[in-house]
Amino acid sequence: MKTTLKNFTRATLLAWGLAASATAMAQNAICYNCPPEWADWGSQIKAIKAKTGITVPPDNKNSGQSLAQLVAEKASPVADVTYLGVTFAIQAQKDGVVTAYKPAAWAEIPDGLKDPAGHWFTIHSGTLGFMVNVDALKGKPVPQSWADLLKPDYKGLIGYLDPASAFVGYVGAVAINQARGGTLDNFGPGIDYFKALQKNEPIVPKQTSYARVLSGEIAILLDYDFNAYRAKYKDKANVQFVIPTEGTVVVPYVMSLVANAPHADNGKKVLDFVLSDEGQALWANAYLRPVRASAMSKEVQARFLPASEYVRAKTVDYSKMAAVQKAFSDRYLKEAQ
């Protein structure tokens, strides 16, 4: 009798444990590429939990790593939603790993910043430039141009995310190439620049390096305005954001519902939230330019560089940018590492 009771108890506990685990999983939505230190995803994840009850575990992949895993898992998806640089999202649509969904506030997303069927849609945008830890420069002048970064003064002080893997790295390559006379059909000037920059022994991580700038390990990071403003105003670091004198690019970041997502309903609720008034205000408070312009308060806008500086930040043909990305990555890996 004791053995039977013991076995029963174990079986019951196991069943309860499995049920509890299933219940917990039912309240999850797996997001690929939602790093807490990037774009203040940490605050967004907390708000999603508070508002919807859905837990979004943090995920430190970059866009390239996320796409690769989505493709690898296509037959049995793990993720429910994904956050990607726009070129990776266009490729994800071509690869059939994301599906159409038109979230709440769909109508307020401008044409050109969303796939017409809903395979991807912009949630916010950023402008690429220099995130500079002024203290880490140790008296050296804050660089103002792409040309400045080639000066020997900045040897060992420059960082940029891997252009062959991370979306922000590729954006940096596009910005440099355009600023130095290249086009999306001719990456020669950009490749030549990266070759020249190797003399300054740059640091080239694959994941977001926000903390490494704050610590001073990387003094100058090719990164977005929103991370620099967050460092300056939220973390009170002596950080400046610089839009290079030769020009730069502005790009959208987008989200998608994963095709055959295991928790698709939860994923849809997450996507609805990030475009809601509350979600968009959180992006704006993190110094990202929300896709719904009404979410940007005058107080937040005043903390950005003047509009006269942002005139140098241009859009590009994002579909073309996506189409040539692999060819650029292959060439970069071969010639410019």
Does 102 map to a domain? yes
Please report the pLDDT score of residue 111 as a whole number. Answer: 87
Check pLDDT > 70 for residue 3: no
| pLDDT tens per residue across span 267-292 | 999 999 999 999 999 999 888 889 99
The separation between CA 99 and the C-alpha centre of its own chain, rounded to angstroms, equals: 20
> How high does pLDDT run on average in the chain?
91
Query: In angstroms, rounded to a whole number, what is the distance separating the alpha carbons of residues 79 and 8?
Result: 36
Check pLDDT > 70 for residue 12: no
Does 15 map to a domain? no
Tell me: do 272 and 140 sit in the same domain: no
Q: Could you give the percent of the chain with pLDDT greater than 90?
A: 79
Tell me: do 292 and 190 sit in the same domain: no
Please report the pLDDT score of residue 26 as a whole number. Answer: 63
Tell me: do 197 and 104 sit in the same domain: no
Please report the pLDDT score of residue 2 as a whole number. Answer: 44
Residue 216 contacts residue 136 (beta carbons within 8 Å)? yes
| pLDDT tens per residue across span 114-152 | 999 999 999 999 999 999 999 999 999 999 999 999 999
Domain interval for residue 92: 37-125+251-301
Tell me: do 96 and 166 sit in the same domain: no
Tell me: do 189 and 326 sit in the same domain: yes
Q: How confident is the model at residue 22 (pLDDT cuts 50, 70, 90)?
A: very low
Please report the pLDDT score of residue 7 as a whole number. Answer: 52
Check pLDDT > 50 for residue 112: yes
CATH code, 139: 3.40.190.10
Does 26 map to a domain? no
Does 306 map to a domain? no
Q: How confident is the model at residue 301 (pLDDT cuts 50, 70, 90)?
A: confident
Query: Structure tokens of 4?
Result: 């039977």
Does 185 map to a domain? yes
Does 149 map to a domain? yes
Please report the pLDDT score of residue 10 as a whole number. Answer: 56
Please report the pLDDT score of residue 18 as a whole number. Answer: 43
Number of domains in the chain: 2
Bridge partners of residue 186, in order along the sequence = 183
Check pLDDT > 80 for residue 16: no
Q: How confident is the model at residue 23 (pLDDT cuts 50, 70, 90)?
A: very low
Please report the pLDDT score of residue 315 as a whole number. Answer: 87
Does 22 map to a domain? no
Tell me: do 49 and 145 sit in the same domain: no
Q: How confident is the model at residue 162 (pLDDT cuts 50, 70, 90)?
A: very high
Tell me: do 68 and 91 sit in the same domain: yes
pTM strictly above 0.85: no
Does 152 map to a domain? yes
Tell me: do 189 and 320 sit in the same domain: yes
Query: In angstroms, rounded to a whole number, what is the distance separating the alpha carbons of residues 91 and 322?
Result: 7
Tell me: do 51 and 194 sit in the same domain: no
Tell me: do 101 and 188 sit in the same domain: no
Please report the pLDDT score of residue 14 as a whole number. Answer: 47
Query: In angstroms, rounded to a whole number, what is the distance separating the alpha carbons of residues 185 and 317?
Result: 11
Check pLDDT > 50 for residue 24: no
CA distances from 110 to 20, 117, 123, 300 (A): 42, 13, 11, 22
Tell me: do 200 and 323 sit in the same domain: yes
What are the two backbone dihedrals, phi and then psi, of residue 50, each rounded to the nearest 5 degrees?
Answer: -65, -40
Tell me: do 219 and 265 sit in the same domain: no
Using a 10 angstrom Cβ sphere, with 0-12 exposed, 13-18 middle and 19 or more buried, the burial of residue 312 is middle
